[in-house]
Structure 1
C-alpha cells in the first residue's frame, strides 16, 4: 500500500494556468498569463549576469540588500519586509501559519484561485464572498466578506486590484473594511498588480501595516518589473508576522541571480513609471475599441489585463472566441474556473500585439 497524504489534500485542485503555445500557428501573441510585455531592464539583466559569475556560492539568506532597496523605493521599513519565492510562496506560508483544520479563510468569489488552494492545503475551509456591483463593474464584495466572518475566520485574502476582474477597492473603503474586521483576523492584501494602478483613490494598504492594523501587503517582481521567470515577491508586514514568516520561510529560497536582478530593477522607479503609463494607454485604447467596434462589455481595469465579455448577440460566445483566437495564435484566458464562463481575460501586450489581437477578434467574430 502506498503512503497516504492527509485526506484534505487528496482532492486539492491544481492551479490552472493559461496556454503558452498553440500547435499549428506560426506566430504567438501571449496574452493569457498577465506577463509583462517588456523584458527585464538592462540594469536587471546586467546584474543577473554578474551574479552568475559567483553562482558557485550560496545566496544571501537574509536578503538584506534587496530589502533595503525595496524599502527605499516603497517608503517602508526594511525590518517589515519579507522576501519570498514569488508572492505565491508567502501566500502559502501565511495560510499555513495562521489557519488550520477547522478554521475559515475568506476569499472573493472571483478572486485569485491560489488563495483557496492554500487555504485548503492548510486544512482550512475557503469561504467565498460574493462580488459586489453589476456586470459592468464587479468588484470584491466587502460587505459580503464582513457578513461571512465567524469566530472561525482567521484570514481574509483581498486581491487589489482584483485578478481577474481588474477592478479595485478604494482607499476609504479599504480602511473602513479593515476597521470592521475583528482584530484577530489577518487581512492579506495581494497587490501583485498595484504597480499598474493609477486611480487617485487607490491605496495599496501599506498605511494599514504601519498603523498596526493586522494587515499584510504582498507585492511581486513578476509583473511590471518583467521578472516572472526569476520568482521574487515580498511582503510588507507587522513585526509579529515578519517574525513568524522568517521562522517558516525556507532558507535560501531566492537564488543569487534573482536577488541581484530584483535589487537592480526596484531601483529604477522611472522605468516602472514609464511602463505604468504605457500599460494604461494601450489597455484603455484596446478596451475602447472592443466596446465601440464590437459592443463587448469590458470591466474598467487598474491592472495589465481586461475582463472581456462578448454581448449576447455576438456570433461567438466566450468559449468559441477562445478557440478561434487560439487558432489565430492569440492566447487569452477562459474564465470558467473563476465562475465567469461568459468572459475572457486578455492581458495587455504591446501596442502592436493588441492591434493583432483586435484584428483576430474581428476575424473570428466575422466583423
Structure 2
C-alpha cells in the first residue's frame, strides 16, 4: 500500500545549501520510491509572516518552484503546487486552530526563540510577533493533515512542527472518530544540521548561508570564508569536525568522500580542501543552476506547472474537507 509524502519550502530568502541538505535532498530521494505518493509545495502563505513586499514575494516564490524543478522534481510524478492556490488549506487551518491549545503554541520553538530574544533585549515579550508567526504551526498542521500525509521529510529543527500536527490530529480524532492520519517525520540520520561558513548552523538569520545556485566566482569566495583552525597542511585533520568535509560529502560521490577522508587524516592544507570542495559543489550544481536560470526567466512556465498541480491537489482536498465538515455538523 502506498504512503503519502509531503513537504514544502517557504519563500523567505534564496534557497541555500542548508535547505537543500535538510529538506530538498531527502524529499527528492523519497520521490524515487515507487510505493510513495509525493506532494511538494511552495509555502507562500507561510512566507507572509516575514515578507510583505509584493515584488520580493513573487520573486522568492518563483525561486522556490524553480529550485524544486531544477533539482529533478517531476511534476507528472508528484503533486506540485503553490500553497495559496489551495484554499481548503486555510479553511482547515481555522478548524484546527479551534482544537489547538494556546499553551501548545507557546511552546513552539520559533515563538519561544523570539520571546527569549525580547526578554534579553529588555523588550515586551511579544515585540515583533505577528499572529501569523504565532499560529504558524497550525497552518503547517493543515498543510500536512489535509493530504492525509504519513511521512514528512524535515530538517532536525522542524521535527516539532510534525509533532504539533500529530497532537492536534489526535485531539480532533478523539472527538470525531478517526479522521486524520497521524504523520511521522523523516530525517537523514547521517546528516547533522549543516554548518554555515562561520561554523554556526547555516541560517538566513545568521547571514552565513551559501546560496544553492550561486555563480562560480561568488561560490568560491564564500567557500574561502569558511572558518578553519590553524593546523599546518601536513598535520592530520578530523573530517568529523570539519565544516569543509561536512559540505564536501553532500555533493561528492561515495568514492570521492572516502578518498577525501583519507586525505584529511593524512594531512591536507585548508586551501587545497576548499579548492576540492568548490570543484565538487560547482560540478554538482552546474546543470541545475542552468535549468533554474531558464525557469526564472520564464515565470509563465512555472505558473502553468503550479496551476496544474493545484488542480490535481484539490481533487484530494475538496472532498476530504467536505468529509471533515460533515463530521462537525457544519456542512450542508
Same-fold call, TM cutoff 0.5 = no
**TM class, shorter-chain normalised?**
under 0.3
More helix by share: 2
TM-score normalized by structure 2? 0.24
